[in-house]
């Protein structure tokens, strides 16, 4: 009955991925390449989860 109110897990992960990539872009602009690389690694982990969820 309440299944219509559930969020699609793939959409949630995609939003998280976009947020991480935007944060990475802002970090890159400041010149902190180590923090940028760490944020990209986080984003890639989320991308792997998205691929696994899609099947």
| pLDDT(1) > 70 | no
Determine the Cα–Cα distance for residues 25 and 39; give it in Å rounded to an integer: 9
In a domain, 37, yes or no: yes
Give percent above pLDDT 90 in the chain: 82
Determine the Cα–Cα distance for residues 28 and 23; give it in Å rounded to an integer: 9
Q: 15-18: long-range contacts (C-beta < 8 A, 24 or more apart)?
A: 16/46, 17/43, 17/46, 17/47, 17/50
pTM, two decimals, is 0.85
| pLDDT(17) > 80 | yes
In a domain, 48, yes or no: yes
Task: Quickly tell me which residue has 């760490």 as its tokens.
Answer: 38
In a domain, 3, yes or no: no
Overall number of domains in the chain: 1
Domain residues for 40?
8-54
The CA angle 45-37-16, to the nearest 5 degrees, is: 40
Mean pLDDT throughout 21-44? 98
Give percent above pLDDT 70 in the chain: 95
In a domain, 2, yes or no: no
In a domain, 20, yes or no: yes
């Amino acid at each position: 009955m309440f299944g219509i109110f559930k969020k699609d897990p793939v959409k949630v992960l995609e939003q998280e991925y976009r947020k991480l990539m935007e944060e990475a872009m802002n970090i890159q602009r400041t010149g902190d390449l180590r923090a940028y690389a760490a944020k990209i690694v986080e984003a890639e982990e989320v991308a792997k989860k998205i691929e696994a969820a899609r099947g």
